[in-house]
Chain A
Amino acid sequence: MRKQWIALLALATSGLAACTGGAGGTSATENLTGQTVEVVGPWTGDEQKNFEKVLQEFKTRTGAEVKYTPAGDELPTVLQTRISGGTPPNVALIAQPGLVAQFAKAGAVKPVNADVEKAVTDHNAAVWKQFASVDGKLYGFTFKTANKSAFWYSEKAFQQVGATPPATWDDLIKTSKAISETGLAAVSVGGADGWTLTDWFENVYLRTAGPENYDKLAKHEIPWTDPTVRKALEELAKLWGDPTLIAGGALQTEFPKSVINVFGEQSSAAMVFEADFVASVITTNTKAKVGQDAKFFPFPSVAGSKDAVVAGGDMAVQFKDDKATTELMKFLASPDSGKIWAELGGFLSPNKDIPESSYPDDVTQDLAKRIVDAGDNVRFDMSDLAPAAFGGTKGAGEWKDLQDFLADPKNVDPIMQRLEANAAKAYGK
């Protein structure tokens, strides 16, 4: 009954929006003075300041008051409490697609209106629309993204052996071996955090098994005992299984330390794999300069695979569909909003119409370009798509199983069985 009512409402509003769509395009500077919009997002500190500048621009254009509530890591809990309390914010930025789907099924988030949908279609590769769609309806779009397919390397360590950024997985192993000859470990793995390991696996899997299988595994339509999973784990074992290539104590190394291992004073490794935000860890914790001492190369191609990017991201969704909310969603979907934050740094967007020159430095430009260029070969972080019991829990599920795999990379079959058993339990619920 309730669902029908919501669907009706959605239909009515989208119909209405479609009618006014033509007019909406021209009247970009709608006057919304006196209205207040509340946004809940995960960003605190500097990121909060930068996002508030984006919102400030919206205020200047429309006259609407915008209130930003930072929720940090507790965002899912904050939103759930506010929804059950009957006071959801107008807009929220959510990093877990699973949560968006959950809210969509419960009718808490509203499908975007036609204008916003058009903006999303115009400015992003088609794959991004899928990430935010539930049962064929679009509920939002990725406003800020993370490029999780980057290897960061120490220029000094590479120079010592005359190495160049490897383009293929086999080259990476070769370069790693050359580096290990100088007494330095090739790669520092932040194995104390399980999420770094899931990112490793996802990147290899996306390349060895291809995007279609990736989608299937993310939905658990194929089991973790599938031969494609074995192939990916075996490729990983080529690197993880050689103790001279991996910096010691990987399972006790947290992500920030794995970065410091490479770029700190006493470096113990030459490369570290993780997302674009490694750059900010380097800047805050070491003296290395991003772009000079610290550079990145994209995750190499495995067995001739095409360019592909594993991405994370914060999706903007709306809990109300009044005019001010819709205007804000339209603004956030447009390149204008992303451009503001892009210029401030620490921001990547899938929006292909944000000019590359908006990003402040070469490294960020390159990272952003690779996301846009990968087009439909971008895939959302699989562990974020999985139920949290499997893909997001310290010491359990995929995190723990991959940690066990890192501890003993020869042990492919038992790990696959354990992954499958844990996945079956988590997806079954």
Chain B
Amino acid sequence: MTPKKWGLSTSVDAAPGRSPRQAIPFLLPALLVLAALVLYPLVFSLIRSFFDATGDEFVGVRNYVDTFTDPRTLTAFRNNVIWVVVAPAAVTGLGLIFAVLTERIRWATAFRLVLFMPMAISLFASGIIFRLVYEEAPNQGVVNAVLVGVHDMFSPSSQYPGARPREGYTATEAGFAANKPVRAGDTVMLPLIGFNPQQVPAQALPASTPQAGDGELRGLVWLDVSAGGDAGKVDVIERGLPGIAVEAVRDGQVVARTTTGDDGRFTFPDLAVGEVTVRLPRSNFELPFRGQTWLGPGLITPVIISSWIWIMTGFAITFIAAGLSAIPRDALEAARVDGATEWQVFRRVTIPLLSPVLLVVFVTLVINVLKIFELVFVIAPGSVQSEANVLALQMWQVSFGTGGDQGAGSALAVILFLLVAPAMLFNIRRFRRERS
């Protein structure tokens, strides 16, 4: 196309696009589609929100009143607020940090590509991934696997986790203490249960009742678990438990300490006259560290937010990096020449110049967060879904999940729209200002 021709075409209509009459036929197809797909559903939802579940009876604002008095919706509101306060700011901040840092390294594009990859996975699939990541069983959930690994490196688990005396002992802070005191010359029988016989150490020998001599206290700790065995009696195939710490306690003070042998026997050789209480310290039976219950009611919202951050950071990086590359280099250079430190350059030059981009990213993320749905739906187990609830999920459940009250669902949709609208308007205004 030559400039001459271009000039010719403009001379036909001095001000193209200024005549509404000419514009209408061109706009009509788009307007029709918009009206059918956007305007009609919008207006219909609004009208529908004033009708009951069947859609026959006008109920005024009752759906709205119900919505604001339903504890489930209120939890959803609260969670949405947490989301809006925490998530977009965190993602924008992380995006900024990564964008600035990756600008300075050689493989910047490759690095950004890796960080952007989660965006390429559907939210639903990401949800399933994080559901597994935060799984409670350490052999399945990677977070707990790491926690348990680190924990066990510093404090290894006990030898007989979960085992407990059959009866006659009380669990205290320090361990299982006998209910009845004993004295020198007595024999203490200590049947334990709650442990798998197949996990007893290989060196364990068959259990047998010891005889205490004068001035000493003897006892037997054995696993009182066998098919057809008698409770509290030493049966033929039952074995003693080696390596169990046993304490003799008098007036709250530990007076003697020993460990059981391979046959499960223990001896306190020279106990002075008087009564003592036999105690099995907790350390014998400490349950193995199993990590955190990430998907329980307490941590569920932070957990879901963390996965959203993982997904959306790539989005923020891409936009902010694009913004960064558009910053005039000479402004930065000038600051450096004037003796500004890198931190000062970042604080006083880069961020102010980037702020329009940061704002757009932030507002876009706020809109995105307000309508978050899939992650909550997938990650939260059914038992904590009401604790993790957000508005979009509540809207879906009310409309389609629970016998389908689309009146109340429409009310929620309208409320959600009203919440998103300010952020939308803000973005639209910005775009318009930038263009003019």
From A178, which residue of chain B is reached at the shortest CB distance? B225
CA separation between A191 and B194, bound complex, in Å?
23
Q: Judge whether B402 and A183 touch: CB under 8 Å.
A: no
With contact pairs A192-B382, A399-B382, A400-B386 given, residues A252 and B136 touching in the complex (Cβ less than 8 Å): yes
Q: Judge whether B225 and A161 touch: CB under 8 Å.
A: yes
List CB contacts (< 8 Å) of B190-205 with chain A: 193-197, 199
CA separation between A159 and B226, bound complex, in Å?
10
Q: Judge whether A249 and B386 touch: CB under 8 Å.
A: no
Q: Which of A35-43, A48-56, A390-398 contacts B (4 or more CB under 8 A)?
A: A390-398
CA separation between A426 and B401, bound complex, in Å?
13
With contact pairs A182-B197, A191-B383, A395-B386 given, residues A249 and B139 touching in the complex (Cβ less than 8 Å): no
Q: Does A429 contact B (CB under 8 A)?
A: yes
Q: Does B227 contact A (CB under 8 A)?
A: yes
Provide the main secondary structure of the chain B interface: loop
From B54, which residue of chain A is reached at the shortest CB distance? A429
From B196, which residue of chain A is reached at the shortest CB distance? A183
Q: Judge whether A388 and B403 touch: CB under 8 Å.
A: yes
Q: Which of B227, B290, B381 lies in contact with A159, CB distance below 8 A?
A: B227
Interface residue count for A (Cβ, 8 Å)? 36
Provide the main secondary structure of the chain A interface: loop
Q: Judge whether B193 and A194 touch: CB under 8 Å.
A: no
Q: Does A111 contact B (CB under 8 A)?
A: no
Q: Which of A162, A191, A393 lies in contact with B228, CB distance below 8 A?
A: A162
From A400, which residue of chain B is reached at the shortest CB distance? B386
From B290, which residue of chain A is reached at the shortest CB distance? A248
Q: Judge whether B295 and A396 touch: CB under 8 Å.
A: no
Which B residues touch A396, using CB under 8 A? 72, 386, 397, 402
List CB contacts (< 8 Å) of A94-140 with chain B: none
From B403, which residue of chain A is reached at the shortest CB distance? A388
Q: Judge whether B136 and A249 touch: CB under 8 Å.
A: yes
Q: Does A87 contact B (CB under 8 A)?
A: no
Q: Judge whether B196 and A394 touch: CB under 8 Å.
A: no
Q: Judge whether B195 and A162 touch: CB under 8 Å.
A: no
Which B residues touch A208, using CB under 8 A? none
Q: Judge whether A194 and B401 touch: CB under 8 Å.
A: no
CA separation between A389 and B401, bound complex, in Å?
8
Q: Does A338 contact B (CB under 8 A)?
A: no
Q: Judge whether B385 and A394 touch: CB under 8 Å.
A: yes
Q: Which of B293, B380, B397, B402 has the most CB of A within 10 A?
A: B402
Q: Does B296 contact A (CB under 8 A)?
A: yes
CA separation between A254 and B400, bound complex, in Å?
23
CA separation between A61 and B224, bound complex, in Å?
65
Q: Does A237 contact B (CB under 8 A)?
A: no
Q: Does B126 contact A (CB under 8 A)?
A: no
Distance of A166 from chain B, by nearest CB (Å): 16
Which B residues touch A77, using CB under 8 A? 400
Q: Which of B193, B197, B384, B403 lies in contact with A160, CB distance below 8 A?
A: B197
Q: Does B53 contact A (CB under 8 A)?
A: yes
Which A residues touch B135, using CB under 8 A? 252
From A244, which residue of chain B is reached at the shortest CB distance? B194
CA separation between A154 and B194, bound complex, in Å?
18
State the total of A-B contacts with C-beta under 8 angstroms: 92
Q: Does B162 contact A (CB under 8 A)?
A: yes
Q: Which of B194, B228, B389 has the most CB of A within 10 A?
A: B194
CA separation between A180 and B400, bound complex, in Å?
43
With contact pairs A162-B227, A248-B290, A394-B401 given, residues A183 and B162 touching in the complex (Cβ less than 8 Å): yes
Which A residues touch B224, using CB under 8 A? 181
Q: Does A92 contact B (CB under 8 A)?
A: no
- Interface flags, A147-165, vs B, CB<8A=1, else 0: 0000000000001111000
CA separation between A426 and B53, bound complex, in Å?
12
List CB contacts (< 8 Å) of A225-257 with chain B: 244, 248-249, 251-252, 254
Q: Judge whether B403 and A180 touch: CB under 8 Å.
A: no
Q: Does B163 contact A (CB under 8 A)?
A: yes
Q: Judge whether A183 and B383 touch: CB under 8 Å.
A: no
From B295, which residue of chain A is reached at the shortest CB distance? A252
With contact pairs A161-B225, A192-B383, A249-B293 given, residues A389 and B403 touching in the complex (Cβ less than 8 Å): yes
Which B residues touch A159, using CB under 8 A? 227
Which A residues touch B405, using CB under 8 A? 389, 429
- Interface flags, A178-191, vs B, CB<8A=1, else 0: 00111110000001
Which A residues touch B195, using CB under 8 A? 182-183
Interface bracket on B: 35 or more
From A387, which residue of chain B is reached at the shortest CB distance? B403
Q: Judge whether A182 and B293 touch: CB under 8 Å.
A: no
From B131, which residue of chain A is reached at the shortest CB distance? A254
Q: Judge whether A395 and B389 touch: CB under 8 Å.
A: yes
CA separation between A392 and B195, bound complex, in Å?
39
Which B residues touch A193, using CB under 8 A? 382
Which B residues touch A183, using CB under 8 A? 162-163, 194-196, 199
List CB contacts (< 8 Å) of B99-155 with chain A: 135-137, 139
Which B residues touch A194, using CB under 8 A? 382-383
Q: Judge whether B136 and A394 touch: CB under 8 Å.
A: no
Q: Judge whether B402 and A389 touch: CB under 8 Å.
A: yes
From B398, which residue of chain A is reached at the shortest CB distance? A389
With contact pairs A160-B227, A182-B197, A429-B53 given, residues A252 and B72 touching in the complex (Cβ less than 8 Å): no
Which B residues touch A162, using CB under 8 A? 227-228
Q: Judge whether B403 and A252 touch: CB under 8 Å.
A: no
CA separation between A429 and B404, bound complex, in Å?
11
From A157, which residue of chain B is reached at the shortest CB distance? B196
Q: Which of B139, B290, B383 has the most CB of A within 10 A?
A: B383
Distance of B389 from chain A, by nearest CB (Å): 7
- Interface flags, B290-306, vs A, CB<8A=1, else 0: 10010110000000000
Q: Does A337 contact B (CB under 8 A)?
A: no
CA separation between A159 and B197, bound complex, in Å?
13
From A388, which residue of chain B is reached at the shortest CB distance? B403
Q: Which of B162, B382, B386, B403 has the most CB of A within 10 A?
A: B382
Distance of B308 from chain A, by nearest CB (Å): 19
Which A residues touch B389, using CB under 8 A? 395
Distance of A250 from chain B, by nearest CB (Å): 9
Distance of A4 from chain B, by nearest CB (Å): 21
List CB contacts (< 8 Å) of A395-429 with chain B: 395-397, 399-400, 403, 407, 426, 429
Distance of A239 from chain B, by nearest CB (Å): 17
Q: Judge whether A181 and B401 touch: CB under 8 Å.
A: no
Q: Judge whether B382 and A394 touch: CB under 8 Å.
A: yes
Question: Could you list some 9 contacts between A and B, CB below 8 A?
Answer: A159-B227, A181-B224, A184-B196, A251-B296, A252-B381, A388-B401, A388-B403, A395-B384, A396-B72
Give the 8 A-B CB pairs with smallest separation, nearest first: A395-B385, A162-B227, A192-B381, A389-B402, A181-B193, A395-B386, A183-B196, A388-B403
Q: Which residues of B contact A (CB under 8 A)?
A: 53, 72, 135-137, 139, 162-163, 193-197, 199, 224-225, 227-228, 290, 293, 295-296, 380-386, 389, 397, 400-403, 405
Q: Which residues of A contact B (CB under 8 A)?
A: 77, 159-162, 180-184, 191-194, 244, 248-249, 251-252, 254, 266, 387-389, 392-397, 399-400, 403, 407, 426, 429
Could you list 18 further interchain pairs (A-B, Cβ under 8 angstroms) beyond the known A162-B227, A396-B402? A160-B197, A160-B227, A162-B228, A181-B193, A194-B383, A251-B383, A252-B135, A252-B136, A252-B293, A252-B381, A254-B381, A389-B402, A389-B405, A392-B402, A395-B384, A395-B385, A396-B386, A397-B402
